[in-house]
Each structure stands twice: as structure tokens, then as C-alpha cells.
Amino acid sequence: MFLGTSLTAGYGLDPAQAYPALIQSKIDSAGLHYRVVNAGVSGETSAGALRRIAWLLRTPPVVLVIETGANDGLRAQSPDSLRGNIQAIIDRARATSPPPRIILIGMEALPNYGPAYAQRFYRVYPDLAAKNRLPLVPFLLAGVAGVDSLNQPDGIHPTAAGARRVAETVWRTLGPELKSVKSVKSEK
């Protein structure tokens, strides 16, 4: 399950071009038997993701990919609030039975709020990953942010080509996790 923002929902793209759908193709090609659930919502902040998580976890996923915070950063919301919301999402996910493996996806704030804010915002993700011993994708839009040809005219949302790059970035962390879950299941 991909809990996320418009970047996960695939804003401006055909749903089959959103990076979670591309991850489904990679899962299928790898012979893994998982179904991707795209729980991305355009405009959602980490507080909104926290409000939805209990409902989403009614059927616990094997792996929960958390991509939230981009809209917090766009609105210059407190990095401490972002940290608290993501930690609460992690805690709720771990309280489900069975608990899912969790992958955290990092985001960066735009530089227009100054270097102090950008650094505090950026640190939320590696700090939470270390504290909770989670695999971390350091930046969802690595290699995509700031590249005109990989972004829609708004300069924020990836094009189909950008989404393919995002899928590769996420797969480098998610693929080994899914394969690890499969091998743990087959050993039982």
C-alpha cells in the first residue's frame, strides 16, 4: 500500500502511468504475488494521512510505503508537526496485526523558505528512519525535481517519464523488501 500525496496518486497522469502502477508491473515481472494499492490523495498533508491511516489499515498490507510531507513543505508547516504525524502513522501501522513492513520516502522542502527550514524539514525523514529502523528512500523525486522534461508544466508533478524515474528510485528499496518478505514466508 502506497500512502501518499498527488505525487503517489499520479496527478495529471493516466492512473496506469503513476509510479505505484509502474511498481505493480515490476512486481509482476519479478514473479512476486502482491497487489499494489494506491492510497495517494492530491493535496493531502501528513495530518490528513494520519486521519486516514486507521481506515486504510483495516486490512493490513504486507508493506506500507509512506510518502507524505510534500504539501506540508509547500505550506511551510512545522517540521515538528510533520515528524509527529509520520511517527503516529508508523505507530498505528505497527499496532496492526500482523504489522506491515514499512518503507519511508523522504521529501525536501522548496528553498524559498530558507536554509534553516529546509534543513529541519529534510532531517525529519532520516531521523525517523533511524529511530524506527526503517528502510528509507531519501528523496522521492531524486533525478526528477528541477528537470523540466520530467515534470509537468507546474514544475512539481512528474510527467510519465518522470514517474518512470520515480518508480526506479522507489523500486531500489521496495524490491528487496518484497523479495525478503517472500523468502521469510517460504521459510515458514
CA dist 50 and 97 (Å) reads 18
> How many C-beta neighbours within 10 Å does residue 92 have?
16
Q: Is 157 a catalytic residue?
A: yes
pLDDT for 186: 42
Q: What is the pTM of this model?
A: 0.94
pLDDT per residue as tens digits for the range 120-156: 999 999 999 999 999 999 999 999 999 999 999 999 9
Q: Is 154 a catalytic residue?
A: yes
pLDDT per residue as tens digits for the range 8-42: 999 999 999 999 999 999 999 999 999 999 999 99
| Mean pLDDT value across residues 41-62 | 96
Q: Which has more confidence, 10 or 181? A: 10
pLDDT per residue as tens digits for the range 59-102: 989 999 999 999 999 999 999 999 999 999 999 999 999 999 99
CATH fold of 2-179: Rossmann fold (3.40.50)
Active-site position among 29, 149, 154, 186: 154
Strands of the sheet with 2-4, listed across from one edge: 38-40, 2-4, 63-67, 101-105, 136-137
**Cα torsion angle, 157, 67, 26, 1, sign:** negative
